[in-house]
Amino acid sequence: MTPQELASQLARILADIIAERSDGAERNDGGEPSDGPGRGEGGAEPPAIAVTEADTAVERPKNREHGDWASNAAMKFAKRLGTNPRELAQEIAERIAEVDGVAGAEVAGPGFINITLDAASAGETARRIVEQGAAYGRGDALAGQHINLEFVSANPTGPLHLGHTRWAALGDSISRVLRAAGAEVTNEYYINDAGSQMDKFGRSVLAAALGEEAPEDAYPGAYIQELGKKVLAEQPDLPEIAAQNRAGALELAQELGYRQQLAEIESSLERFNVHFDVFFSERTLHAKGGDGEQSPIETAVDRLREQGHVFEEDEAIWVRTTDFGDDKDRVFTRGNGVYTYFAADAAYYLSKKDRGFGEKIYLLGADHHGYIGRLTAIAGAAGDDTEKDITVLIGQLVNLNGARLSKRAGNIVELDDLLEWLGADALRYWLARYPADSPLALDGEKLRSRTNDNPVFYVQYAHARTRAVDRNAAAAGVDRSAFAPELLTHETETELLGKLQEYPSIVAGAAELREPHRIARYLEELAAAFHRWYDNCRVIPQGDEPVEDLHRTRLWLNDAAGQVIRNGLDLLGVSAPDRL
């Protein structure tokens, strides 16, 4: 019996009760003017009360005395049924107690229904998890959805730094969680490879390659010098080209430097266990088609104009984004004929729409929060549903104590250095462990510690323990030839099983709310439940005690715990080592 099955049993019982009550008695209590269509005649039918499994979802009570699972459905429905919560709860409790696998049910407090399961019924979960393996916890709540998830999108003019790492970790985990819930997700990185910062980058790289003094406004940091050397190695005749055709050399240096830098960014991300499906170049939005066809940006302004949202003023072309809640209208084409960044954003949004994505998620830092209004307005102006087709997630900034500034990258904290110092696992886990909207201050030494105060090690240690037990069990002749779930009666076993049963709903909730930190918090609780169980219940008999079915059954439970920790860590992009 899983919590989901319990919820569906409760929903059935509640629906039965509602049906019985409305069949029988008083339908004439005066009030309730029902003004719906087709209700004009005859005996006023009571308004239908629909029950879904969400209404009867059960919770794991904090207090063990409140049973294995608790429902507050009676309190939710009592009013609508014109009865009091405790009375309704009593009725539900009597019926749920009759269900196979339920050991008992009682009413408590203002109308909670506290349900206790048979040990065998609860223990069955262990076998189910082992059999489902990596699939345990995955669901289909988001099946059929095509989601575009854009994150990081750092300028290709320098290395990734701390400011990008939180979005990299969070975005990739969100993607994994959404996929676990059945969605099809494309991870996308928008490359700002057009515009003045690229020119500045080109000038910086060319000067470095030629050994010239850096221009006034050059990008700081030794990495520019490194890029210059690489560019020169790739294009040894660059000095000659520069002497004859400065503009040509500039373009060449910019291009080669850009390719090099982007490749480095990609490789840093892969080392961070973050994978992008699409790197989308801003330039493609500016580029005209083969036969002088319009560029996507030019097309975009026409499309918005057709929707009636474009106007001209002061020689500039504007989009009336205030119609969609933006705080001011936005310029599309400047007075000098140049497109703004906003124009590219609009064309980019349309590209996502044209590529068939329903929901487009943007993961942005708090310093970009001014984008919410304009991006949402673009969606609206494009004829999309601003509620469902676009989501802008804003994350607060992170700072990390003890991290050394990178001279190479111009006194920022570089991702590559963080990876070397802390490792991808610790960094990813800690960054995914907090909700995006909470400001975050990390302590570097804590991320490196190998004790209880470092949750990533605590969780990984629990996993390694399950593997150690598994290895030792094999050596001691404990196998899975028997499974007797009714024997799993120890307090810590009930608790561990309960945690394991919660996992699918944790994943579903994390996907719905786009909050992978829920997975991390859950894993910490699961690991704690496992450690407690490990300390109390032995899988392998001591001394010359014989191997019994209890030991064999516990081996299933041990493996189930390991499997769920593995599945959860995978959603965070963190490894689950067999040994620590």
Of residues 36 through 95, those in contact with RNA by CB under 7 A are 61-63, 65-66, 70, 72, 75-76, 79, 85
Amino acid at 397: L
Interatomic CA distance for residues 58 and 9, integer angstroms:
11
Q: Is 131 in the site for RNA (CB under 7 A)?
A: no
Smallest distance, Å, CB 153 to RNA?
10
Contact yes or no for 485/124 (Cβ under 8 A):
yes
Give the integer Cα–Cα distance in Å for 80 and 544: 62
Pairing between β-strand 310-313 and β-strand 316-319 as defined by DSSP bridges: antiparallel
Q: In whole angstroms, what is the distance from residue 391 CA to residue 393 CA?
A: 6
Cβ distance to RNA smaller for residue 237 or 315: 315
Q: Please give the Cα distance from 407 to 449 (Å, whole number).
A: 26
Q: Among all chains, which residue has been given the structure tokens 């942005």?
A: 364
Query: How far apart are CB 572 and RNA at their closest, in Å?
Result: 15
DSSP 444-505: HHHHH--STT-HHHHHHHHHHHHHHHHHHHHHHT--SS---GGG--SHHHHHHHHHHHHHHH
Stretch that binds RNA, among 140-148, 170-178, 351-359, 429-437 (CB under 7 A): 429-437
Q: Which is nearer to RNA, 360 or 465 (CB)?
A: 465
| Closer to RNA by Cβ: residue 411 or 472 | 472
> Of the candidates 278, 316, 424, 482, which one interacts with RNA according to CB under 7 A?
316
Question: Site mask, RNA, residues 188-227, x = CB under 7 A?
Answer: ----x-xxxxx-----------------------------
Least spacing, CB of residue 545 vs RNA, in Å: 11
579 forms part of the interface with RNA (CB under 7 A): yes
Minimal distance, residue 181 CB to RNA, in Å: 13
Residues 528-567 that bind RNA (CB under 7 A): 528, 531-532, 534-540, 542
- Spatial contact of 554 and 537, defined as CB atoms under 8 Å apart: yes
Nearer to RNA, 481 or 542 (CB): 542
The string of DSSP letters for 245-293 reads -HHHHHHHHHHHHHHHHHHHHHHHHHHTT---SEEEETHHHH---TTSP
Q: What is the pattern of x (binds RNA, CB under 7 A) and - over residues 434-473?
A: xx-xxxxx--------xxxx-x-xx--x--xx-xxx-xxx
Task: Please report, as residue ranges, which positions from 342 to 361 form the binding site for RNA (by CB under 7 A).
Answer: 342
Closest CB to RNA among 172 and 515? Answer: 515
Binding mask 107-126 for RNA (x = CB under 7 A): -xxx-x-x------------
327 binds RNA (CB under 7 A): yes
> Site for RNA (CB under 7 A): which residue of 47, 248, 335, 402?
335
Per-residue x/- mask for RNA, residues 360 to 379, rule CB under 7 A? Answer: ------xx-xx-x-------
What residues have CB less than 8 Å from 333, skipping those under 6 apart? 301, 316, 317, 339, 340, 343
d(CA 445, CA 201): 35
Q: How far apart are CA 527 and CA 458, in angstroms?
A: 7
